């Protein structure tokens, strides 16, 4: 069977890391007998340069016609002068909405070989941690009404957050189902002491919790959650939260693992298609220098195999290969830390992972 995968390489290091992931996917295809067909489409700054818009209709149509989507990264200082609606980053919101991707899974796992790279004290990471952050992706303040108006002190800008019960229910149910497949612990993060949207969020989550009595459920204010992540990350298993809070907390959690270059993500909806991407940005400062860490994108490919195609053994093969390469001491510049070893380039790290896959 042939599987059609849309490639949105984007900007900066995006093409480099997507090429690495494609190499790994082709290796997995050869090893397990799968036929993956890859088709590139423009997005972000690359689309602006070529067509004048960050998200062409051809890209949307191509993704909708594919079995799954892989995204690199978008944006960079080259396009910083553009207005908000014209910036490369707006393409991310547009493609998520077009594909109906309302659930964002962001695992934050500390690899044993990288415990020394974590900024936390050794005793806090001795046992490691494996956190799944479930972020609502198509609602909240990022998609609310926005603009400029005259206020008390003159010109002011505003952004509006709104959540419906339906939006909260579907992300909440996804989080409870994920918790049921892990250690049955779920923390819901909000700001219910201040925000009306958070009060509705908490009320809805409490109702859902009654349907999942096996899950140990707790509420946390977002400021406390941010503190608890650095105080004791091992206490968490699954965290569910809103779009903006999830954006911030998942980046915080990524740094606890040693590098944002290690963190994969999956964006899912009501179909198996999904979009898979590293959570880091386009890193224009190292673009074209073969210095990027491809591991987050390669692990995103593993998530795609597992969630889009149901290929658990193939996904595990990639994850085991990454574990083995890190255990053998191979590092890109972002995770080398105090090691005396020479840093691997992007292509060298990819080559080692390919060797470990066999």
List active site positions. Answer: 142, 191, 223, 247, 251
192 token code pair: 């219910």
Please report, for residues 118, 142, 211, 322, the alpha-carbon distance to residue 329 in angstroms, rounded to integers and kept in the order given: 16, 40, 46, 11
Q: Is residue 141 a contact partner of residue 244, using CB atoms and an 8 Å limit?
A: yes
For 332, which DSSP code? B
Question: Rounded to an integer, what is the distance from CA 271 to the centroid of its chain?
Answer: 18
Q: Three-state DSSP class for 220? A: strand
146 token code pair: 């926005």
Which contacts qualify for 210-215: CB closer than 8 Å, 24 or more apart? 211/176, 212/176, 212/179, 212/180, 214/180, 214/184, 215/176, 215/179, 215/180, 215/184, 215/185, 215/186
Q: Three-state DSSP class for 243? A: helix
The helix, strand and coil proportions of the chain, stated in percent and rounded to the nearest 5, come to 45, 20, 30
Residues 6+ positions from 299 with CB-CB distance below 8 Å: 262, 263, 264, 318, 319, 322
Residues in the chain: 358
């Amino acid at each position: 069977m042939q599987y059609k995968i849309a490639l949105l390489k984007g900007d900066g290091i995006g093409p480099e890391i997507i090429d690495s992931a494609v190499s790994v996917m082709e290796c997995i295809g050869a090893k397990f007998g799968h036929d993956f067909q890859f088709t590139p489409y423009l997005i972000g700054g690359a689309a602006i340069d070529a067509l004048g818009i960050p998200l062409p209709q051809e890209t949307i149509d191509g993704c909708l016609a594919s079995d799954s989507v892989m995204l690199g990264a978008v944006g960079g200082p080259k396009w910083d002068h553009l207005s908000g609606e014209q910036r490369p980053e707006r393409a991310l919101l547009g493609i998520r909405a077009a594909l109906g991707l309302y659930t964002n899974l962001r695992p934050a796992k500390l690899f044993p070989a990288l415990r020394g790279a974590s900024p936390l004290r050794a005793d806090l990471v001795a046992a490691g941690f494996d956190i799944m952050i479930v972020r609502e992706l198509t609602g909240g303040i990022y998609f609310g009404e926005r603009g400029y108006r005259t206020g008390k002190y003159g010109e002011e800008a505003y952004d509006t957050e709104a959540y419906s019960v339906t939006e909260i229910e579907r992300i909440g149910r996804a989080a409870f189902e994920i918790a049921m497949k892990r250690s049955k612990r779920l923390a819901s993060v909000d700001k219910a002491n201040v925000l009306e949207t958070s009060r509705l969020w908490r009320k809805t989550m409490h109702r859902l919790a009654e349907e999942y009595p096996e899950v140990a459920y707790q509420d946390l204010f977002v400021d406390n959650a941010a503190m608890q992540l650095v105080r004791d990350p091992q206490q968490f298993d699954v965290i569910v939260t809103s779009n903006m809070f999830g954006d911030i907390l998942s980046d915080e959690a990524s740094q606890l693992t040693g590098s944002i270059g290690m963190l994969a993500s999956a964006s899912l909806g009501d179909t198996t298609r999904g979009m898979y991407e590293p959570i880091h940005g386009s890193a224009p400062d190292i673009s074209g220098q073969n210095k990027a860490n491809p591991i987050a994108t390669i692990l995103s490919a593993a998530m795609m195999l597992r969630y889009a195609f149901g290929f658990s053994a193939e996904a595990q093969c990639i994850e085991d290969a990454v574990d083995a390469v890190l255990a053998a001491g191979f590092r890109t510049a972002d995770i080398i830390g105090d090691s005396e070893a020479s840093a691997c380039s992007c292509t060298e790290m990819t080559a080692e992972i390919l060797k470990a896959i066999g």
